[in-house]
């Protein structure tokens, strides 16, 4: 019998019972909750007279609707305010820990979980949010769920699941300087497509993945969902352990020692079998820029906007045409000639301290170009913000003409006041370039923090390796 993959191990350790057709009741160790996808779940509990099974497994935070400017006056949009207040109230009534808007620990749910050590190796982690895949960077089985499932997990501590298939993406060799985890993620999506990972859990492996910091691994796993996979995974190693040590929710003392010993097994066995394996040469990866309205519509920065006429697949060519029209671009145009109106550095993909350091290093001593109407940095959490301020990054950004904001999802999906106006073009470090994602009619180009920073200074996309 062949060995087990990391996914197999995590799955097997959490099965409470199985139905004949393979549907399993999977035990959930950590449940993260935010304001957008939870109100109907709490309402469901209330209507059925049910209670949360294990409140100490739940951690809640409001992130999607919160303003990124002065918070002293609360949320002005009454609908957004009601949603945040509903979360506050549900957490109060059901005795759930919540980092409220005025708490320094508040931030994007996928940033604060790991930051607090609330995400641990070997856990199952769920959240009513597709980017829960982020937490897989810790060797945890983590994926997004819908609101009915949020209610199910609250009520039963379990999830009804069918096992996914195993895929491994090995990124072998070293990436060139200026090439980041974001570029690896986009290059993987370019390779397998946005539906390539559908039905799979993707384990990211190989020398270039091992070399990534935890921040980088989180960026990579974060975008597993853009590749179609509900869960991304990276095996546990010393980098994982060093990151977690001493974090508030991480175990302490003897418990920590026992945990670290158990985590040594959280990797795929040598002889484990994968249903699909993809190998990518790290040295080939160049800084990536999306040109269309799906993350798979992406090319290296030194290339041109592709031509739909050269695409043999009719449905694909049609989507390309529609995307070019929406994006206001012409086939054959060099990526570096695309001028931008706004810059957004933030989101659960790229708002951690390392991302901000990378962007600050590019803008230091330079200034945002005149044609750029707004360049903003939105740290992923209050703690990331404080750390950045201790390092003086805020001043670098402000001197360069950036706005330095309060933490939250912000212009990643524009549920708060931060958004693109119709036709505006944005260099964004977020994860989705769908039509209207950052504001109706807005045009999003996904890039790494360093690439976004360089674009802010130049006023158009540039190759950060030559900047």
Partner 1 sequence: MRAFTTLTGKVIPLDRANVDTDAIIPKQYLKSIKRSGFGPNLFDDWRYLDPGEPGMDNSRRRPNPDFVLNDPRYAGGSILLARKNFGCGSSREHAVWALDDYGIRAVIAPSFADIFFNNSFKSGLLPIVLDETEVDALFAAVTATPGYTLTIDLEAQAVSTPEGRRFYFEVDPFRKHCLLEGLDDIGLTLQHADEIRAYEAKRRQEAPWLFAAE
Binding site for ligand SF4 (CB under 6 A): 63-64, 108, 110, 129, 131, 347-348, 409, 412-413, 430-431
Complex with ligand SF4: residue 62 or 214, whichever CB lies closer: 62
Select from 106, 119, 157, 430 the one that contacts partner 1 (CB under 8 A).
157
Q: Is 372 in the site for partner 1 (CB under 8 A)?
A: no
Q: In this complex, which beta carbon is closest to ligand SF4, that of residue 63 or of residue 418?
A: 63
3-state secondary structure of 288: strand
Closest C-alpha to 194, from 24, 446, 466? 446
Residues with Cβ within 8 Å of 262's Cβ and at least 6 positions away in sequence, in order, are 122
Least distance in Å: CB of 464 to partner 1? 28
State the burial class of residue 163 (Cβ atoms within 10 Å of its Cβ: 0-12, 13-18, 19+): middle
d(CA 242, CA 435): 40
Residue-level length of the chain? 467
CB of 455 within 8 A of CB of 442? Answer: no
Q: Which of residues 162-191 bind partner 1 (CB under 8 A)?
A: 162, 164
Task: Pick the binder of partner 1 from 27, 172, 276, 463 (CB under 8 A).
Answer: 27
Copy the structure tokens of residue 149: 């499932």
From the list ligand SF4, partner 1, none, partner contacted by residue 147 (C-beta under 5 to 8 A by kind):
partner 1
Phi-psi region of 456 (alpha: psi -120 to 50; beta: other; left: phi over 0): alpha
Query: Please, what's the b/e burial string for 170-199 (b: 16 or more CB within 10 A of its CB; e: otherwise)?
Result: bbeeebeebbbbbbbbbbbbbebbbebbee
CB-nearer residue toward partner 1: 204 or 397: 204
What single DSSP character describes residue 331? Answer: T
First to last CA, the chain: 52
Torsion sign (Cα): 328, 420, 85, 351: positive
Site residues for partner 1, window 290-309 (CB under 8 A)?
Answer: 294
Size of the site for partner 1 (CB under 8 A): 83
> Applying CB under 8 A, does 420 fall inside the site for partner 1?
no
For partner 1, the binding residue among 94, 173, 176, 198 (CB under 8 A) is 198
Which one among 251, 306, 308, 459 touches partner 1, defined by CB under 8 A? 251
Q: Which of residues 88-107 bind partner 1 (CB under 8 A)?
A: 97
Contact 462, 454 (CB under 8 A): yes
Interaction between residue 259 and partner 1 (CB under 8 A): yes
* C-beta separation of 155 from 134 below 8 A: no
Name which position in 145, 184, 192, 335 contacts partner 1 (CB under 8 A).
145
As a whole number of angstroms, the distance between CA 4 and CA 38 comes to: 35
Member of 415, 450, 456, 464 binding partner 1 (CB under 8 A): 415
**One residue of 107, 113, 122, 178 binding partner 1 per CB under 8 A:** 122
Kindly tell me which residue out of 93, 255, 283, 333 binds partner 1, with binding defined by CB under 8 A: 255
The binder of 347, among partner 1, ligand SF4, none, by C-beta within 5 to 8 A per type, is ligand SF4
Q: HSE-up of 237 (CA within 13 Å, CB side)? A: 15
> DSSP per residue over 408-437, as a string?
SSGGGTT-SS--PPTT-EEEE-SS---TTT
User: Strand, helix or coil at 333?
Assistant: coil
Question: According to the binding rule CB under 8 A, does residue 194 interact with partner 1?
Answer: yes
When the beta carbons of 180 and 294 are compared against partner 1, the nearer one is 294
47-66 residues in contact with partner 1 (CB under 8 A) are 48, 50, 53, 56, 64-65
* 19 touching partner 1, by CB under 8 A: yes
Measured N-to-C along each axis, helices 181-192 and 214-222 cross at an angle, to the nearest 10 degrees, of: 30
Instruction: CB nearer to partner 1: give 286 or 443.
Output: 443
Give the nearer residue to ligand SF4 in terms of CB position, either 169 or 412. Answer: 412
Question: Could you say whether residue 12 binds partner 1 (CB under 8 A)?
Answer: no
Question: Of residues 67, 136, 139, 228, which one binds partner 1 by CB under 8 A?
Answer: 228
Q: Quote the least distance from Cβ 48 to partner 1, whole Å.
A: 7
Q: Assess 436 for contact with partner 1 (CB under 8 A).
A: yes
Nearer to ligand SF4, 268 or 294 (CB): 294
User: DSSP characters for 343-381?
Assistant: EEE-TTTS-SHHHHHHHHHHHTT----TT--EEEE--SB
Q: Minimum CB separation from ligand SF4 for residue 448, in Å?
A: 16
The CB-of-173 to partner 1 minimum distance in angstroms stands at 30
């Amino acid at each position: 019998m062949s060995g087990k993959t990391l996914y197999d191990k995590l799955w097997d350790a959490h099965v409470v019972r199985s139905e004949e057709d393979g549907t399993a009741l999977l035990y959930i160790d950590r449940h993260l909750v935010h304001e957008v996808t939870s109100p109907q779940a709490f309402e469901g509990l209330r209507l059925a007279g049910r209670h949360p099974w294990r409140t100490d497994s739940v951690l809640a935070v409001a992130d999607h609707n919160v303003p990124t400017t002065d918070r002293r006056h609360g949320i002005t949009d009454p609908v957004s305010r009601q949603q945040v207040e509903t979360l506050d109230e549900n957490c109060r009534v059901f005795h759930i820990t919540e980092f409220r808007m005025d708490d320094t620990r508040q931030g994007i749910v996928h940033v604060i979980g790991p930051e607090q050590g609330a995400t641990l190796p070997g856990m199952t982690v769920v959240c009513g949010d597709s980017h829960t895949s982020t937490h897989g960077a810790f060797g945890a089985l983590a994926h997004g769920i819908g609101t009915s499932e949020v209610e199910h997990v609250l009520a039963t501590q379990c999830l009804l699941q069918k096992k996914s298939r195993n895929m491994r993406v090995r990124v072998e060799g070293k990436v060139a300087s200026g090439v980041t985890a974001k570029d690896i993620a986009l290059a993987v999506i370019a390779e397998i497509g946005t539906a390539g990972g559908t039905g799979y859990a993707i384990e990211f492996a190989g020398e270039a993945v091992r070399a990534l910091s935890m921040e980088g691994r989180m960026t990579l796993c974060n975008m597993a969902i853009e590749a179609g996979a509900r869960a991304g995974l990276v095996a546990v190693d010393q980098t994982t352990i060093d990151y977690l040590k001493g974090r508030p929710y991480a175990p302490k003392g003897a418990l920590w020692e026992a945990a670290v010993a158990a985590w040594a097994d959280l990797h795929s066995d040598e002889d484990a079998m994968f249903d699909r394996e993809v190998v990518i040469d790290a040295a080939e990866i160049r800084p990536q820029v999306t040109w269309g309205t799906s993350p798979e519509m992406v090319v290296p920065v030194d290339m041109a906007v592709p031509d739909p006429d050269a695409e043999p697949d009719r449905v694909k060519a049609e989507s390309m045409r529609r995307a070019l029209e929406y994006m206001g671009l012409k086939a054959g145009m060099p990526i570096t000639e695309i001028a931008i109106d706004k810059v957004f550095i933030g989101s659960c993909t790229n708002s951690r301290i390392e991302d901000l350091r990378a962007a600050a290093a590019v803008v230091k001593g330079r200034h945002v170009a005149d044609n750029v109407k707004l360049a903003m940095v939105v740290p992923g959490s209050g703690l990331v913000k404080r750390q950045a301020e201790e390092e003086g990054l805020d001043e670098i950004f402000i001197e360069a003409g950036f706005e330095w904001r309060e933490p939250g999802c912000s212009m990643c999906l524009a549920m708060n006041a931060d958004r693109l106006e119709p036709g505006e073009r944005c260099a964004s470090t977020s994860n989705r370039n769908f039509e209207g994602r950052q504001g109706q009619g807005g045009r999003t180009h996904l890039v790494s923090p360093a690439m976004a920073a360089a674009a802010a200074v130049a006023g158009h996309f540039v190759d950060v390796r030559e900047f």
